[in-house]
Amino acid sequence: MSYTPNMTLKFETYDNGDRYEGEFNNEGLRHGYGTYYWADGSKFVGNWKNGKKQGNGEYYNERGVLTQKGYWIEDRLISNNHW
């Protein structure tokens, strides 16, 4: 994971069992590069902006299989295989 200046790198665990490892902005929102792990074992690896998936990213299901890869805007996949 590369570190972006002016961002805070930390790990956060939520009450529902989900967790996030990555960068946060000054408002405490996921922002920059990071990985969000859902309690069921699925995960998103990629870029975030103000708490939402934004930019290139990959979603893996609970079995670890890559199911979505592409460009995201405000939590929505808009282009598959953008890279």
Which domains can be identified in the chain, with CATH numbers?
8-80 (2.20.110)
pLDDT tens per residue, the chain (83 residues)?
Answer: 555 567 788 999 999 999 999 999 999 999 999 999 999 999 999 999 999 999 999 999 999 999 999 999 999 999 876 44
- Percentages (nearest 5) of helix, strand, coil residues in the chain: 0, 60, 40
Task: Report CA-CA distances (Å) from 57 to 16, 21, 64, 79.
Answer: 23, 14, 15, 11
